[in-house]
Amino acid sequence: MPQLQANVSFLAPHPEYLHLPAPGGQVYCGCDQEWFAGYWQRKAGCGPSTLSNLVLYLTRAGKANHQPIPDKAAMTKLMRAMWDYVTPGLMGLNDIHKFASGGNQALKELGSGCTLTAQDAGQPLSSLVDFITQGLKEGPVAFLNLARTQQGPLEPWHWMTLVGLDTDAAGHPLMRLYDNGKEISADLAVWHQRGTAGGFVRLDSGQRRE
């Protein structure tokens, strides 16, 4: 594994744009596919949920022309709308390029100047780290894990929203992820070493921060 700089953090600007009020004064970290009403949507809705998180972020950042999304009810309505752009098939939404294509159509219709770009997981780790960290300068990054079994906190065959990448004292890149309304952490290098299929989809406005 290539040695990465230790003890550094890359964080999407304003990750709190993904926060929604939860009972008891708590917050949801992005949406939860369990908010869908239908069984199949709850089972296969991680892709539309992740796209909804990106649209929520862009809306609150003033980069998408969507009505305000103040709470769970409004977010669930957005999730239902995004389902039509990235509709899962029998195997779910298991293609990063289909996610990017459908997402780009949604962003275009929302008047956003941002586009989505995909990177397959089969690239060298250093290339993935560069792709992710460049994407985090714009906002959250969509992450698809096509492992068929649970890997630590990572659900199999599942989309998540990546909001940060930290390296520990040994230089291991640790992903900060929002999934099912909660924040989790997972080692990107360990995931990559297993040769798991999947990949990442990032936002690009052409005006990325340095």
C-alpha to C-alpha distance for 97 and 148, rounded to whole angstroms: 20
**What is the average pLDDT value for the chain, to the nearest integer?**
94
The model carries a pTM of 0.95
C-alpha to C-alpha distance for 56 and 15, rounded to whole angstroms: 11
The domain limits of the chain are 9-204
- Residue 210 banded pLDDT, cuts 50, 70, 90: very low
The answer to whether 106 and 51 are in contact (CB under 8 A) is: yes
Closest CA to 100 of 159, 41, 33, 13: 159
Fold of 9-204: Cathepsin B; Chain A (3.90.70)
Name 139's bridge partners: none
The model's pLDDT over 19-50, given as tens digits with 9 standing for 90+, comes to 999 999 999 999 999 999 999 999 999 999 99
pLDDT attached to residue 169 = 81
pLDDT attached to residue 172 = 84
Closest CA to 45 of 197, 185, 155: 155
The model's pLDDT over 105-144, given as tens digits with 9 standing for 90+, comes to 999 999 999 999 999 999 999 999 999 999 999 999 999 9
- Residue 5 banded pLDDT, cuts 50, 70, 90: confident
> What's phi and psi for 27, nearest 5 deg?
-130, 145
